[in-house]
C-alpha cells in the first residue's frame, strides 16, 4: 500500500520508536495523526511542529489507552478533526519488566489493556472505513519477547505474542478485502524507547548480551515502512540469530530454555527488572 497522501495514526508517538516512525511516515508523504498520553501533549506538539517541514498535515491527540471510553472518544475526535484513517500503527506499549509474583494486579491489567486490548479496540473503531474504501493497513509493534516468552517479562511477552497472532488471524480473515495487517517484532532497541531508558537508569553499567545484540529505532521505523509498502505479515527486526531462535523456540522450547540460561539471558532480564524497580546495584 502506498503511504503518500494517506492519513496515518501512530499511537505512542511522543517518544521512543514512535517518534522515529512518525518521521519515517512523514518522509514518505503521509499525513500524521500523533497520539499519546495527555501528559505528553507538549512533546507531541513539538514533534508536530518539526514534521511540518515535510509538507504533510500533522495533528496531536491525547488519550489514556488503558481506558476504553477514552479510546472511543479519541478515535471519534481524530476522524472529525484530522480525517478518516487509512493506516494505523499500533505502537503504544507498557514495558512490564519484573518478577511476576511481585507485580500488582493493577500493573498486570494496565499492561494487558494498553499493549493488547487497545490496539484491538482502536482497530475495531477504524476498520469499517477501511473496509468501505477497500484499502487500509494496520501495523502492530510487537517484540521478540512475544516470539520467545521472555523471563521477567512474562505478562509483556503474553501481550506481544497475542498481537502477533491477532494480526495474522485478521490478515487471513480479511484476505481479498483490500485491508491488510503486519506485525513487527524488534529485539532490544537501543538509543530510544523503553529499553534505552532502562539502560540510562543503570548508568551504562549494563551491556546488551552480544548474542542478542540491539537494533536501532531507525531500523524499526524502516521496517514499518517496508511492511506497509510490501505487505509483510510478520517481521523480526534484529540479528539473524533472533529469527533462528524464534523458529527453534516453536520446535524445541526446552532446548531454547537451556540456551537462554547458557547465555545468561534470564539473569540479564532480572537485572533489567531490578533497574525498573530502582533496586539494581552493580556487583
How deeply is 74 buried, as exposed, middle or buried, from its count of CB atoms within 10 A (0-12, 13-18, 19+)? buried
Q: How far apart are CA 47 and CA 14, in angstroms?
A: 7
Is 60 within 8 Å of 34 (Cβ atoms)?
yes
Q: How far apart are CA 188 and CA 208, in angstroms?
A: 8
Distances (CA, A) of 186 to 35, 136, 277, 279: 21, 23, 23, 27
**Active-site residue among 20, 152, 156, 195?**
156
Collapsing DSSP to helix, strand or coil, 138 comes out as strand
156 is catalytic: yes
Is 100 within 8 Å of 150 (Cβ atoms)?
no
Q: How far apart are CA 228 and CA 222, in angstroms?
A: 10
Copy the grid coordinates of residue 255: 532446548
Q: First and final CA of the chain: distance in angstroms?
A: 51
Distances (CA, A) of 227 to 2, 34, 123, 237, 264: 11, 20, 17, 12, 32
Q: How far apart are CA 38 and CA 62, in angstroms?
A: 5
Copy the grid coordinates of residue 266: 534470564
Closest among 141, 145, 107 to 266, alpha carbons compared: 145
Instruction: Report the run of H or E that residue 171 belongs to, with start and end.
Output: helix 154-173
- Supply the residues annotated as catalytic: 156
Amino acid at each position: 500500500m502506498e503511504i503518500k497522501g494517506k492519513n496515518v495514526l501512530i499511537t505512542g508517538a511522543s517518544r521512543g520508536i514512535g517518534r522515529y516512525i512518525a518521521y519515517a511516515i512523514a518522509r514518505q508523504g503521509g499525513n500524521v495523526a500523533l497520539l499519546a498520553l495527555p501528559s505528553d501533549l507538549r512533546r507531541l506538539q513539538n514533534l508536530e511542529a518539526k514534521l511540518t517541514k515535510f509538507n504533510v498535515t500533522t495533528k496531536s491527540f491525547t488519550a489514556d489507552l488503558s481506558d476504553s471510553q477514552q479510546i472511543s472518544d479519541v478515535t471519534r475526535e481524530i476522524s472529525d478533526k484530522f480525517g478518516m484513517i487509512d493506516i494505523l500503527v499500533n505502537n503504544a506499549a507498557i514495558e512490564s519488566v519484573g518478577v511476576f509474583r511481585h507485580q500488582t494486579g493493577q500493573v498486570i491489567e494496565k499492561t494487558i489493556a494498553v499493549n493488547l486490548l487497545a490496539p484491538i479496540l482502536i482497530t475495531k473503531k477504524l476498520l469499517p472505513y477501511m473496509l468501505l474504501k477497500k484499502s487500509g493497513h494496520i501495523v502492530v509493534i510487537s517484540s521478540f519477547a512475544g516470539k520467545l516468552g521472555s523471563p521477567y517479562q512474562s505478562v509483556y511477552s503474553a501481550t506481544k505474542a497475542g498481537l502477533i497472532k491477532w494480526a495474522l488471524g485478521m490478515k487471513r480473515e480479511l484476505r481479498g478485502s483490500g485491508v491488510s495487517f503486519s506485525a513487527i517484532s524488534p529485539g532490544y532497541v537501543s538509543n530510544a524507547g523503553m529499553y534505552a531508558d532502562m539502560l540510562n537508569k543503570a548508568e551504562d553499567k549494563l551491556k546488551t548480551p552480544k548474542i542478542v545484540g540491539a537494533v536501532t529505532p531507525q531500523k524499526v521505523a524502516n521496517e514499518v515502512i517496508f511492511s506497509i509498502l510490501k505487505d509483510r505479515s510478520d517481521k523480526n527486526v534484529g540479528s539473524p540469530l533472533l529469527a533462528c531462535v524464534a523458529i527453534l523456540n516453536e520446535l524445541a522450547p526446552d532446548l531454547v530454555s537451556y540456551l537462554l540460561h547458557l547465555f545468561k539471558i534470564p539473569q540479564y532480564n532480572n537485572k533489567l527488572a531490578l533497574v525498573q524497580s530502582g533496586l539494581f546495584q552493580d556487583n
